[in-house]
Amino acid sequence: MANVSLARAGIPTAEEILEPSPGAMLRRRIFGNIGLLFGAVVLLTIVFMALFAGVISPGDPYDQVLSRKLIPPIWHDGPKVTWEHPLGTDALGRDYLTRLFYGARISLFIGFAAMLISGVIGTTLGVLAGYFGGRVDMVVNFILTTRLSLPVVLVALAVVSLIGSSLTVVIWVLGLLIWDRFAVVMRSATQQIRNLEFVSAAQALGCSTPRIILSEIIPNIANHLIVVATLEMAHAILLEAALSFLGLGVQPPEPSWGLMVAEAKGLIFFDSWLIGIPGAAIFILVLSINLVGDGIRDVTAPENRN
Amino acid sequence: MSDPVIEVSDVTRTFMISAGFMRGKKPLHAVNGITLDVERGEVLGIVGESGCGKTTLAKMMLGLLPPTSGTLRLDGKAVGSADRIEVARILQPIFQDPYSSLNPRKSIGDIIMLPLRVQNDPNPETWQSRAEAIMDLVGLPKRVINNFPNQLSGGQRQRVAIARALINRPKIVICDEPTSALDVSVQSQILNLLQDLRSEFNLTYVLISHNLAVVEHMATRVAVMYLGRIVEQADTETLFKSPRHPYTEALLGSVLTPVPGLGVPDTHLGAAYPNPIDPPSGCTFHPRCAKVMDHCSNQVPPTIGANGTMVECHLYADGLGQKAKGKKTRKGKRK
């Protein structure tokens, strides 16, 4: 009863002072992790750019003004440099900043969707193989070896030339091809957890197998899952850029960062910023995703809880 | 007095072990034809060296491993055929290592309430209060209910494991080395707690341990295991006072004494624990036995005695004369 009145008065009880709430401890760890903070801020900025591309961009990504083509960005000197086009214009006179914003949309969407598809496939296969072992493991390993023997870019090339290129095709091709790391990591993580006694305890309590997998195994491999998911998202974004660069991914005039690099490759010696800007954007996006992934793992790892 | 809650009859569990690269697989009989009854209300201690099959036996009792042959009956029902949930209602385990037996991602409250959730207990509104009641009983402060296992000490974790095992009021608890991962000072607390809970809930314990002091303190009856067989069974007092099987004698002789001058006791066991893939012929204990006789190496010893008191040894094969002789030799050796 004393506790109640203290709490009403807004005075923390002795227990609250001794033991910070789980939420407070989580906050303390998040704000102690510079990599995570930096990555999260950059990633959120890019997500914001992508979501509100229509509102914040100065122009239209498809509007061509040939009289104003190849204006350099504002940090260059030159007669054509103007604040109307802070990052300049491309060879067709389209505002580069606008295309960069809209391109973020496509990169993030492809990365996220492909990561989701491959994550579901790879995690399912990996967890099943790790949990059941034996025959299941053999079958999964066979599928995995088969998949690893397929070169991603060549298969993507073949599929795209067979059924044509579009955003959906790129997402599915990537999603169906890059689940291998999920499967490998989830399989070994599951094998480790599976032999711990709390899994035996859950079995002895009468838990059903799906329940054991979902509530005993998955939460304990979730930090590996998050790290692999971020790595694979970054991987998918890079692959999309590579496919678009080869002309197999997103088709013009859609603004994709990989495609922007490809379109500018003829001008690399004259207007190198045309490649530099989308290239830097890809680099920063991938870096921030990886930082966030590492940070989440550090923050949520149970060995860091004290 | 015969009211067995667990009946183990002629149970064997064989693992196929790879004998080496390109050599195929060989059978390892981890448990080799064990017959054992656990009476209601008793504390059956199972002792033996590492690798003698204690844990495999426990896993089969829990229904985690199916026996290769033989049957296990739990409260009259065969373990294999019964629903896992039903087995769980009667039988609960307490594991050796409290650091790996609790899911690190779940709060203490969730861990303790998991059995109720799994059994689909009809009164979810009482779960919290029941968890608090059982925590009180096992000596855990109420405030840890929202903590995670790694915020607790080893002893506290083992208390959580005990609370989880007992919240659904099982009849039997299988304790697989319940204290061997704990500090000595905490060990006695946990053992006393187990004793108290036993009388509180009318529990039957199967206590697996290699620590003879623990077994002597807790058990009412002891079974000694060697290489997948039970070589001797007797009530605790008899077994500790007058062990019959030479292996039991050696085990009892191996206990370190706190007297500094005495040094490490000589058990006459020799160094080598035999390779269980390729067990010795005849009596599996004969290469290490202090009283080995000529026929020990080629004849499997008979099982002498029944109803919870038995010994498997040639020394006692032909009646009381041999038995008396056996005792005499033992005394002579000890001086």
Nearest CA to A190 out of A133, A106, A233 is that of A133
With a cut of 70, say whether residue A3 has pLDDT above it: no
Q: B130 and B22, same structural domain?
A: yes
Q: B212 and B83, same structural domain?
A: yes
Q: Which residues of chain A are within 8 Å of residue B119 when distances are taken between CB atoms? A: 206
Reported confidence tier of residue A302, pLDDT bands at 50, 70, 90: low
DSSP state of B279: P
Per-residue model confidence as pLDDT tens digits over B2-14: 678 888 888 888 8
Instruction: Print the domain residue range for A61.
Output: 21-304
Provide the domain count of chain A.
Answer: 1
Shortest CB distance from A204 goes to which of B88, B106, B147? B88
For residues B43 and B242, is the Cβ–Cβ distance under 8 A? no
- pLDDT for the residue B326: 41
- pLDDT for the residue A136: 92
With a cut of 90, say whether residue B147 has pLDDT above it: no
Could you tell me which residues come within 8 angstroms of residue B161 by beta carbon, excluding any fewer than 6 positions away? A201, B94, B95, B98, B101, B102
Reported confidence tier of residue B98, pLDDT bands at 50, 70, 90: confident
With a cut of 90, say whether residue A183 has pLDDT above it: yes
Reported confidence tier of residue B257, pLDDT bands at 50, 70, 90: low
ipTM: 0.77
| A305/B119 touch (CB, cutoff 8 Å), yes or no | no
Residue A152 lies in a domain: yes
Q: Which residues of chain A are within 8 Å of residue B88 when distances are taken between CB atoms? A: 204-206
Nearest CA to B330 out of B217, B232, B259, B243 is that of B243
With a cut of 50, say whether residue A300 has pLDDT above it: yes
- Which of B209, B241, B273 finishes a domain? B241
Q: In CATH, what number is assigned to the domain containing residue A267?
A: 1.10.3720.10
With a cut of 60, say whether residue B334 has pLDDT above it: no
DSSP state of B48: -
Shortest CB distance from B93 goes to which of A15, A201, A222? A201
Whether the link from the prior residue into B4 is cis, omega within 30° of 0, is no
Q: B116 and B54, same structural domain?
A: yes
Strands (E), B19-118: 25-39, 43-47, 69-74, 77-78, 91-94
Strands (E), A71-199: none
Integer-rounded Cα Rg, in Å, for chain B is 21
- Which of B202, B218, B241 finishes a domain? B241
Q: B234 and B247, same structural domain?
A: no
Residue A14 lies in a domain: no
- pLDDT for the residue B327: 40
Cβ atoms < 10 Å from Cβ of A44 = 12
With a cut of 50, say whether residue A24 has pLDDT above it: yes
Instruction: Print the domain residue range for B65.
Output: 4-241
| A201/B97 touch (CB, cutoff 8 Å), yes or no | no
Per-residue model confidence as pLDDT tens digits over A220-271: 888 888 888 988 988 888 888 888 888 877 777 888 888 888 888 888 788 7
Q: B263 and B233, same structural domain?
A: no
Residue A287 lies in a domain: yes
Q: Between B324 and B199, name the one with better pLDDT.
A: B199
Please give the mean pLDDT across all residues of chain A.
83
Distances (CA, A) of A296 to A232, A305, B98: 15, 13, 27
Q: Between B176 and B259, name the one with better pLDDT.
A: B176
Q: Give the separation between CA B202 and CA B254, rounded to whole angstroms.
A: 33
Shortest CB distance from A197 goes to which of B100, B115, B148? B100
With a cut of 70, say whether residue A210 has pLDDT above it: yes
pTM of this prediction? 0.77
| A200/B161 touch (CB, cutoff 8 Å), yes or no | no
Please give the mean pLDDT across all residues of chain B.
81
